Structures are given as structure tokens and as C-alpha cells.
Structure 1
């Protein structure tokens, strides 16, 4: 496990340090910059009938060899496993609907960490210290608001408009407590939008690249540029260039959706 931990850290361009809030913040920032949120690997794991959250070894292998990250369960669970290996005291928390985050206990403080939302939550958030926290980045505003003793809302806004809200149930859980949530995230049905569209998010320099089927948005702190693509070869090359996913897995995702009568160019 030591070797895997070192490979993971090396991919993040970081080295082994003692647990601290400063180290945690750098781990989060490097993770969001180096490792994408993406559904390509999710379709692959589904096709392979593999365990739905890859092991730490499999996750790091695919990171190095295929450029994959994953969706929330794969990203946050494996980041949580890494944090434990590094000596951090962590638990998982359910975020409804269909998401999870990490609770890090350090220096008598409880911090919310989330590297699996495709969102610039670039630092740990100490939810319990005040009723509302606001983060900004890449044209996005993220507000955490306390709703109840152990319930917090995450509201993501762009251009002042809310586009997704979820609720953090601030109760510590282990991986096994989330087995049903993970399984339902792979439900092969029209109701599960994650399994019905291609999505990828990568933070690179001052730009966030957001892929949704045939559309790529390049978002900076100042503006948003949108590219609608129509040509499959050009689209595959562009996705490969921006996200560094291997072309085989890109094609596999296109085939996965086509088998379900979904065309990525509309």
C-alpha cells in the first residue's frame, strides 16, 4: 500500500508530510487540478461488471495509464482512502441526492472536503463555525448554508442563478454504509442522468473545461466560451487533447450512449 500511496502523491506532484490543515488544502487543490471528474470510467466499470468503486490500486493504475478520475463516489472514496493512508482521521458523509463528501477531523475541527463534485471547492470548509460559507471560482459561487443541526445545503450558482442544490447529512459514515448509494448511482435507467450523458470537468490554469456530450465550455474568472461540436473525429481528438483520456475509452462511452439511443450531438 505504501507504494500505491507514493504513486498517488507523485501524480498530485506532492510528497509525504504530516497531517495538517495546510497540507490538506494543498492535497485538495492539486487533486482538483490534476484529476478530472468524468463519466468515461463509470461507463467502462459498468460494462466490465467490475466493483463499482475501484480499489485504490485500480484507481491509481487508471489515473496513470488512462487519465481517468471518476465521478463522486470513485473520487471522494479514493481520496478518503489516500487521506487515511497519510494519517488523517476521516469519515464519509452522505450528500443527497446521489453524492458523498468527506469529513476530516483535525485539531478538534471537523472539515468538509469534496474533490468529486466537478466544482472548485478548493479548500476544506469548517461547516459548524457559522451558518453560511461562500466560495468563488471559475465563474461559480458555492454557498454552504446550515439547515438543521446536522444538515447543510450546497447551492451552486453561475451568473447569479442556482443550477444545482444538494444537502450534506453531517453524520460520519464508513464506505460500507454507502453501498446502496453507490449501487443506485449505476442504475441503468432514464431516471439516472449520470448514466445517460457524457460529462467531464478539468481545472487547468485559469480555465475550467466543462464537457457535456457534444458541448465544451471553457470558463475563466471573467467569461465563458462555448463550443458546439458536430464532427465525431474532431470531438474525440478535442476530448483527448483537453482531458488526456485514451481514445478507446472515449469511443466506449459514445457506444454506450448510442446503444441507449442517445446521440451526443443534438
Structure 2
């Protein structure tokens, strides 16, 4: 099986000609089947790499370990897939500390993001109107035009904004964001991504959100939070929720322990 077929097989979707409808289905399958997670980030760092995995390695770990990655790994490799499927893609900075994809279809440009751990389940034609609002899992995602080639991205829950970022709507090549991607692997306390375990996956009506020893299961009715004190019970729940291998979880716990962060009593 070639690499593109392996990726599509993981997404449980067939190859089709590029279209807006196909792109939306690819995004929805991605959010459901490929998690946002930091297990692979710790692994790559331990292997001596501070770079986004190449396309072949990324797909290998999709298949073998159930991994996805954080924003740079997910969006860069999804864009690589889209280009191999015939789409025209570029990257856009989302400040601070994020990158998303600009996909051009029939002279219209769409914002695509499978690397934010949020329910952005469709392409957004940002330039089509002043404001766009998405709803999902008790959250509002709001895009607002704030000037030439700039959009404000807000995430709100219970009427309160908990994340604000600024999209710079200027197309960039992959090589123009490589240094930023590498900086996301910095092993320091100020880089919070390297100091906690995180994972997000959307499956049916449920959103699974992992932050260290707490697993939240959110749907349209309620939020259930499971706080684990025993590592074995935590590992069983995380494997089931995110379909990842146990070895990566062990490696992640050990990575944090070496930096003075202990999630479970020994």
C-alpha cells in the first residue's frame, strides 16, 4: 500500500477528485480518527528530532501507534496529503504559536485546521463575510475580520472567551514555517506543550479531552470528568478513548517525570 492510500485507509475514506464536499468529509474523518496528542511529540524529541515528521513517518505512526500530533505535525502533514490529492494548499500563521492551512478551490480560499483540538469541522471561506460562527460541544468558534489579511479567532464556552488568536491570512510555503515548527519542540518550562499530556478526539457525539490525569467526555448534553489516581486505570481509559498504543503513554509519563512532573504516585 502506498503512503497516500495508507493515510486514506486510516481516515476510512476513498480517494476522490478534489472538491469542497470531499475536503469537508476529509476534515470530519480526520477529527474523528486522528487525535491531537502530545505523546508523539515527546517521542520525536527523545529520538533527537525537533522537526515535524516527514510524510512517510507520520503515516507509519498513524497506522502503527494511532498517533496524530500537535498543530504543526497535523496540519503540515494534512496539507501534504491534500496536495497529493490534487488540492492547492498554503500555510497561514495563527498567532501566537499555531499554523493552519489555506486551501484554494475554484478561486475561493478556505481556512482549514485539523490541528487545534477543536470542532472546526468544515472549511471556512473567511473572506466571504465579516463574521463566521461555528458551534460544537458547548463551544463557539468565532472568526472576525479585523483588517487587511487579518482575522480574529475566538473560542468561547459559557459565554466566556478562553482562547484568542490572530490569523494572518497570507499564504506561506512549508519552508517558511519550519523554524516556528522546530521552536514548538523547545524543552523548557515556558513551552507548556512539552510539560503536560494533552489529547483531543471527536467521535460521534462525544469529544474526548485529556489533560494529564483527567479525561473529560463532552457531548451536547453534559460533561463528565474522570480524575484518575491509578496509572493502570488511566492507561486503559486513554487507550480506549484515543486508540493509541500503551508504550507511547509509558514514554510520555517517563518524559514528564524526568522534568519533575509526576502524574501518579509510585
Question: What TM-score bracket applies, with the shorter chain setting the length?
Answer: over 0.9
TM-score relative to the length of structure 2: 0.97
> How far does residue 51 in structure 1 lie from its aligned partner after superposition?
5.3
User: 2:72–2:181: 8 Å Cα contact kept in structure 1?
Assistant: yes
3-state secondary structure, aligned to 2:177: helix
Q: Is residue 2:103 matched to residue 1:104?
A: yes
2:204 matches 1:222: no
Q: Name 2:72's counterpart in structure 1.
A: 73
5+ long unaligned stretches in structure 1: none
Q: Which residue of 1 aligns with 2:248?
A: 249
- Which residue of structure 2 lines up, in the alignment, with residue 201 of structure 1? 200
Computed over aligned residues only, the root mean square deviation of the Cα atoms, in angstroms, reads 1.2
Q: State the 4+ residue runs in structure 1 displaced beyond 3 angstroms.
A: none
CA contact (8 A) 1:213 1:265 kept: no
Structure 2 residue matching 1:44: 3-state secondary structure? helix
> d(CA) in 1 for partners of 2:195 and 2:75?
21
What is residue 189 of structure 2 aligned with on the other side?
A: 190
Residue 161 of structure 1 is matched in structure 2 by 160
Equivalences, count: 265
Q: Which residue of 1 aligns with 2:4?
A: 5
CA contact (8 A) 2:143 2:154 kept: yes
TM-score scaled to structure 1, two decimals? 0.97
Cα distance, 1:264 vs. partner?
2.4
Query: Distance between the aligned counterparts of 1:52 and 1:212, measured in 2?
Result: 23
C-alpha distance in structure 1 between counterparts of 2:250 and 2:165, whole Å: 31
For residues 88-167 of structure 1, the aligned pairs below 5 Å read: 88-167=87-166
Residues 36 and 199, structure 2, Cα contact 8 Å, conserved in 1: yes
Query: How big is the shift at 1:185?
Result: 0.5
Q: Deviations over 1:224-252 (max 9, x none)?
A: 11111111111111111211211111010
Name the SS of the counterpart of 1:52 in structure 2: coil
Task: Quote the Cα distance in structure 1 between the aligned partners of 2:252 and 2:225.
Answer: 22
Q: What's the CA shift for 1:205?
A: 1.2
Tell me, in whole angstroms, the C-alpha distance in 1 between the residues paired with 2:264 and 2:149: 42
Question: Which residue number corresponds to residue 42 of structure 1?
Answer: 41
